[in-house]
Structure 1
Amino acid sequence: MRPIYYDLLDRSIVRYFLRFTDFLETSTFSNPQQYKFPVTNENIDSIMPISKPHNLDITGFVSKEQYYDNFIQQINEWLKWFDRFIDIFQPIVEWLKNYKVDEAAQSFTELHAIRNESTITIIQMKTPIEKILKLFKPFSNYLPRICYLCNCLSPFHAVDEGHLDDGYNSTNNIRELSRSHPNNKFQVDSKSQFEKSFFINNRQTTQWSIASEKFPCQVELTYRTIGSYDNDKKLFTKNNAAINKYILRGEFEAQRDGLLTIVIGNQGLSSRTIWFQIRSSRLSICHLFYGIFHIFYQQDYPQLVDTINPNALNQLLKRVFSFIDR
């Protein structure tokens, strides 16, 4: 349903059929609780990079068109917030699942379904998020620090959007690539444009570089997050970039799966041979925190346990951070 809600932000033929519907009558008999946004606390609000949306306003509209436009706009605001929430907190839920915290395993499964099933409705998204907010409540005071240590606060971060490295000429780079990765190249015909995309797994730091054998080119690089509300990130664009002289390189961090796309424009009469290198590694995290937490966890639970209560986790985190801060 998410792609449909996004598309409905633009005026569409749907508006023509509004005269044949009765949204207001339908809303009157619907469960009013489903129009209320999940309750959050100040710790969650401080972590989220966007403001919490209001409850869905389904009354006081003078026309069906006004009701429809407002409703679709509000739904998309909810979706944007839900997407950001999952970007940030899915790694935390996975961590809790690994340590057998109550409800964490089920919540992680539900988040995975939201990520991968485009037919899930807004209410089906809301329910597991409310469950996670309830799960977080006993230890929410520690969430800002945990998110920072887990390196999940930013859905996307361009460490280096792209620059010509004048300390590393293209000829040397191409010579090395031709020996180590001879297939890392593609050709762009004269008076044409060529596009090549690379799949990037979630929670990766990605370093990229490109070079041209003989001539400068028009270059554009973007990262498109799969299934995200705000999914296009333009990294670099330049006409007549001198990638035949110096290697063009950049780096970014992304929480979600996506496509890194290189677009090369060739306005010349000769073809261009482009060499590239894409290297990805897991996002850095604070291994010291995780190590200390694991030691304290093993002290409290030396034997395998089925689950631990979120309140017990809160006490465990209290001791862990007291040890770290002393």
Structure 2
Amino acid sequence: MYSLPVELLDSIAQYLSCSSLASLAQTCSALCPVAHRVLYRSVSASAWSQNLCVIDTLAKKPHVARFVRSFYIAIDSLAPVFLAYYRQLAKAILNMSELTSLTLLVDSSVSWVLKEAFLDRTPSLLELEVDSIPTVFMRNSPLPYLAPTSIPQLQQFIGSSRAAELIVPGRPVSSIHLNGEGLMEDDIPLLARSTVPVIILGAVTNAPPVPFLETLHRHVPHLVYLRLMSTKDIFIAPTAEFYEQVASVLTSFTELNAFEFSGMHWDSQVKQNDGAKRVWQSAPLQIRNHPEDDLLFGSEIFLAY
């Protein structure tokens, strides 16, 4: 068995359960790394999973932490931990030198974990979610400094617009999903400072939708998918003029294929005789599938779904 290629042993280990992998790791020094490579490839830790103790293992054993490719941790206010635990968390992430995906759902007041974990030690990171749990400290806590050389390959970011200001500029982030605080027009130029075109964007804003879309086009014109949630005049049904204005702006996004606005999928069709362009919905949809729909879809805002 010891003469088998490592790749074959890894393939066999993939079919084992977590408990079997843990047993395999204890059999001998030759099979221990094989079991650890599979067992720790994707780590998900949370209070409800009752496995937060895995952080201590990853902090104390760098040779094990190097096997982690995807890491998820969630610590909410209902299950607080000591400050020393966050220090161990920063150390554990620092040991994950081959990490490609990180979801860090912790209190934003401990954002220093991000700083300590990314001191040029996670060069392979492609996906990052951070600062997604809103707290009373979010606006007051200082943003940590990240060196320009940190996380140089990052492609996808999920989190608050506040964290995006720190992480997106100077990095090849093409997919951005913002939650929590509303994205303002003044914030958009910072997103445009990604070193590659932003092609996917999801955001919440309190700004007027049409001027906001115009600002997006000026700074991130290469969007392919756009999902926008607006809290501006949220209880007012959109008018026919609003549909026309939105359709006019969407036409200027020459690469846009899909647009959602406050839960509404904005319909579009490929332009005849020019497959590179799209014609966007410029009026409310008026088709009802059933007569009883009148009771549910009494306003134009619902007819657009």
Instruction: Give the TM-score category using the shorter length.
Output: under 0.3
Give the structure with the larger helix fraction: 1
Q: What's the TM-score, normalizing by structure 1?
A: 0.23
Q: Normalising by the residue count of structure 2, what TM-score does the alignment of the two structures yield?
A: 0.24
